[in-house]
Amino acid sequence: MVFWSLFKESIVFALQALVSNKLRSILSLLGITIGIFAVIMVFTIVDSLEQNLRKSVQSLGDDVVFIQKWPWEGGGPDYPWWKYLNRPVPDYKELNYVLENCDGAQSAAFMVAGNATVKYKSSSIENVTVICASHQYDRVKNFEIAEGRYFTEIESASGRPVGVIGDVLAKALFPNQSAIGQTIKVRGAKVLVIGVFKKEGESILGGSPDTQVLIPVNYARSLIDINDDNLDPQIMVRAKPGISNDELISELTGLMRSRRRLSPLEEPDFALNQTSIISNVFDDLFNVVGIAGWIIGGFSILVGGFGIANIMFVSVKERTNIIGIQKSLGAKNYFILMQFLFESVFLSVIGGFIGLLIVYLLTLVAGDSAGMAIQLSRSNVILGFTISILIGVVSGFVPAYGASQLDPVEAIRSS
């Protein structure tokens, strides 16, 4: 009981000391505010980018293998691009071969993508991504249709002029009406809109379905050369549940080598890509940014801590005679210690709280303008508050301990 009443009393003393020196308190907590702001802001941005990237990679499919001409990994001056330049591109017949022979594949689709101008009456939108895909595209790629439907098997196989358009396109071309049942023109050819993709927002990897038009590849044959190298034709293969990507890659390697009649000594003339290649590249990048933020923010908080320690030494010096009086009236050492320790912890926590508040407000503002979700996560809030408390304890302990060890007689005599 006595301990708790002393505990409460020391909190009251600490608060009184802070209120009586407002300007000094504000100036000394600024260091912590800036430090916490720097660290938590960097972490928040890195975490948000990472989350958005994972979402984008997930939409590509983390259990999907892409058969393409060019590998995703590599780059730099030593990249042997000449090896890949003369490779053949995957074609539609190879898709059928994969579908017939690949035991580990749950579904597979052929896809090419190009840009085109899309028109509806007098409205036209340039540089729209047109995805030309085979029927199982909806089973390989993760997307949802908000309105209407996907192609039927007959529509895909016979190459009917039907299409699914993105939410942004639908709103731009048909502002006050439903897009379903309307006919748009893609590269001058008529396409009946049968579905609208659910809005997904900007993707960090690009290729958001919001601004895409999806048409059956058998219809696209009449509009574009689906084996054009520049359109990056690819076969996307999704693994069956329980089949790992490595197992699927191994099977696909054998199938593609056999299909392209490659001898055992010949190098493969195709690339089998998977989304983990992208994740790994970005993981490395985020680690570097995270470490930079950690070093800069960590040391700025440390400097903020020195500021609080300095102000606490001044505070102890100023109140030495009061400490002497308190001790001569029977105040215990731990009471004096707690009084000053709470003062520094309060300073630090208020500083940290302001820092977190600034980060939160900035995430609200930046989230709207950046076009992607930037969120102050629970783990970052916990980190911010814990660090504030700890820096308060660490920077306040030495002056507080010094105050608790003062001799009452000498302390009262001090001017």
Partner 1 sequence: MQGAAIKRPVLITIVCILGFTWIVFSFPGVFAPSLKKLGDWYPALFGILVATSFISYIGLWHMKRWGVQLFLISFFVKETLLVLINDVSYAGIFFSAFFICSMLPFYKRMDVNL
- Which is closer to partner 1, CB of 218 or CB of 404? 404
The answer for residues whose C-beta is within 8 angstroms of residue 181's C-beta and 6 or more apart is: 192, 193
- Minimum CB separation of residue 366 from partner 1 in Å reads 21
Which lies closer to partner 1 via its Cβ, residue 146 or residue 291? Answer: 291
Sign, Cα dihedral of 298, 303, 304, 308: positive
Q: Is 386 in the site for partner 1 (CB under 8 A)?
A: yes
Q: Is 397 in the site for partner 1 (CB under 8 A)?
A: yes
Tokens describing residue 179: 């897009």
Greatest C-alpha distance within the chain: 101
Question: Based on CB atoms, which residue is closest to partner 1, 294 or 360?
Answer: 294
Q: Tokens 């040391």 label which residue?
A: 299
Residue count, binding to partner 1 (CB under 8 A): 34
Comparing CA positions, the residue from 285, 269, 398, 289 lying closest to residue 344 is: 398
Burial code (b: 16+ CB inside 10 Å, e: under 16) for 215-239 equals: bbbbbbeebbebeeeebbbbbbbbb
> Of residues 258, 280, 287, 328, which one binds partner 1 by CB under 8 A?
287
Three-state SS at 149: coil
- Is 295 a binding residue for partner 1 by CB under 8 A? The answer is yes
Q: Does 382 bind partner 1 (CB under 8 A)?
A: yes
Going by the DSSP 8-state scheme, the letter that residue 152 receives in this structure is: P
335/325 Cα distance (integer angstroms)? 13
Complex with partner 1: residue 207 or 290, whichever CB lies closer: 290
- Quick one: which of 260, 290, 367, 375 contacts partner 1 (CB under 8 A)? 290
Q: Which is nearer to partner 1, 215 or 331 (CB)?
A: 331
> Interface with partner 1 includes 291 (CB under 8 A)?
yes
137 contacts: CB under 8 Å, gap ≥ 6: 109, 111, 131, 214, 236
Cβ atoms within 10 A of the Cβ of 194, count? Answer: 22
> Of the candidates 95, 359, 387, 403, which one interacts with partner 1 according to CB under 8 A?
387
Residue 6 binds partner 1 (CB under 8 A) = no
Nearest approach, Cβ of residue 73 and partner 1 (Å)? 23
Q: Is 401 among the residues that bind partner 1 (CB under 8 A)?
A: yes
By CB under 8 A, tell whether 352 contacts partner 1: no
Stretch touching partner 1 by CB under 8 A, among 120-128, 146-154, 287-295, 362-370? 287-295
Query: Smallest distance, Å, CB 400 to partner 1?
Result: 10
The reply on whether position 48 binds partner 1 by CB under 8 A is no
The reply on whether position 334 binds partner 1 by CB under 8 A is yes
CB atoms within 10 A of CB 262: 15
Taking the least distance from each CB to partner 1, the nearer of 36 and 278 is 36
Residue 390 binds to partner 1 (criterion: CB under 8 A): yes
- Quickly tell me which residue has 């993105």 as its tokens: 166
- Pick from 302, 366, 372, 412 the residue near partner 1 by CB under 8 A: 302
Q: Which is nearer to partner 1, 46 or 57 (CB)?
A: 46
Residues 165-224 that bind partner 1 (CB under 8 A): none
39/239 with CB nearer partner 1: 39
What counts of helices (H) and strands (E) characterise the chain?
14, 10
Site membership for partner 1, residue 250 (CB under 8 A)? no
Alpha helices in 75-206 (DSSP H): 81-85, 92-101, 137-140, 153-158, 167-173
| Closer to partner 1 by Cβ: residue 70 or 334 | 334
Q: Kind and range of the H or E element at 230?
A: none
204/301 with CB nearer partner 1: 301
Burial 138-153 (b: 16+ CB within 10 A, else e): bebbebebebbebbee
Provide the residue type at 42 as one letter: V
Strand pairing report for 212-216 and 123-133: parallel
Among the listed residues 18, 39, 217, 278, the single contact to partner 1 using CB under 8 A: 39
Chain residues that interact with partner 1, rule: CB under 8 A: 39, 43, 46, 286-287, 290-291, 293-295, 297-299, 301-302, 333-334, 337, 378-379, 382-383, 386-387, 390, 393-394, 397-398, 401, 404-407
